[in-house]
Amino acid sequence: MMYGALDDLIERAGEVEILQVADRDGNGAADPDVIDAAFAHAGNIIDGYLAGKYSLPLASVPDLVRTWAVSIARYRLHHEGPPDYVVADYKDAIAALKDVARGAITLTIADGSTPDASSNSGDYLSADAPTSHASTILKGWNHA
């Protein structure tokens, strides 16, 4: 899911920086495909952390999720080596997503509600390994 857009990147980083990292064809405008790919990547990462706690796709995008998406997409756009402050924002976003996954952070939407919880109860099926009959089969066999 796309949790951000070009306007969000420009608001956070400024148009000059975004043009430097997203104008791959040199026409003076950020390439939509490049922006979409960066946000798709960010969305995949975010969904991976949210999947165990919330039903996806989110019906409404919490502000924190949009902030994390911008940080991750911005990091992705700096493919030739992001500045330290971009790396720090990226690491902060990933750390916060890990906190969401383990339940230390609960997402809230602008109206104060929380997104629907995942129906994934965490239940799992398990099967014991089959019993080995090797000792019965090999009984009396000697290796000389």
* pLDDT tens, the chain, 144 aa long: 899 999 999 999 999 999 999 999 999 999 999 999 999 999 999 999 999 899 999 989 999 999 999 999 999 999 899 999 999 999 999 999 999 999 999 998 766 566 766 544 444 344 444 555 555 555 665 655
Please check whether residue 32 lies inside any domain of the structure.
yes
Question: Would you call the peptide bond into 32 cis, given omega within 30 degrees of 0 as the criterion?
Answer: no
0.85 surpassed by pTM: no
Residue 105 lies in a domain: yes
Contacts 24+ apart (CB under 8 A), 78-83: 78/21, 79/21
pLDDT at 112: 59
Domain of residue 34, residue span:
6-119
Per-residue b or e along 94-128, where b marks 16 or more CB atoms closer than 10 Å to that residue's CB: bebbeebeeeeeebebeeeeebeeeeeeeeeeeee
Domain count, the chain: 1
**Does a structural domain hold residue 59?**
yes
Residue 130 located in a structural domain: no
Identify whether 134 is part of a domain.
no
The answer to whether residue 127 is domain-embedded is no
Asked if the structure places residue 141 within a domain, the reply is: no
